[in-house]
Structure 1
Amino acid sequence: MNRPSPTAVERVDHGHRYDLLVGAEHAGRTEYRDRGVQRVFHHTEVDAAFAGQGLAPLLVGEALADVRRSGMRIVPVCPYVAAYLERHREFDDITDPVTPEVLRWLDAELA
């Protein structure tokens, strides 16, 4: 994998997202909404110009590590975040299931 550098992941609370930066360029994001102590991830994308460079796992891994440091829990509505968690079991202790109640809440939040 040929990862461009330097890369950074920044939490943008007012935008409910983590931004992936490659140098000064915005390269992607993972979006969330907070529901009490749960951080509900609902969308992740890496811009096409940066596809195939191994940046999505970097973005999600850094975001989930930040959730742990923040004392919160993860709810993986986003399919990419869910797939990442299947491969990275070290987050099992802070991952909550996606339930119909969470999905109804998220729909209302995003409306």
Structure 2
Amino acid sequence: MEVIQKNSDKHGSFEVIDQEKSVAQMTYTWAGLTKFIIDHTEVDPGYAGKGLGKQMLMAAVAIARKDQLKIMPLCPFAKSVFDKDATLADVLF
């Protein structure tokens, strides 16, 4: 399985691909040039409990750190991870 990013001027997503099939997706919306809002996370029920949501979130954090961006986690899943992990505070908006 691999996490891929799809990005446009206004929206984007991180997806987990397994055998050429998207099995999880985290979507975001750009809020200016320096921050993006994670608005939804969804995992195929057959893949629940495998940590795919966290993998996508960590991919988003890696991009934010690399490009000096901030993340606003409106999605309940993303917000709960940020609330529990203080090491992610550097990218939190």
The RMSD of aligned alpha carbons is: 1.4
Displaced runs of 4 or more, over 6 A:
none
Structure 2 alignment gaps of length 5 or more: none
Aligned length: 90
**Larger strand proportion, structure 1 or 2?**
2
Decide which structure has the larger Cα Rg and report it.
1
Structure 1 residue 89: Cα displacement: 1.5
**Larger helix proportion, structure 1 or 2?**
1
Normalised to the residue count of structure 1, the TM-score between the two structures is 0.73
2:7 aligned with 1:10, yes or no? no
Structure 1 residue 87: Cα displacement: 2.3
Structure 1 residue 86: Cα displacement: 1.7
- Aligned partner of 1:21 in structure 2 is 17
Query: Does the CA-based 8 Å contact 1:30-1:59 persist in structure 2?
Result: yes
What is the SS of the residue equivalent to 1:16?
Answer: strand
Normalised to the residue count of structure 2, the TM-score between the two structures is 0.85
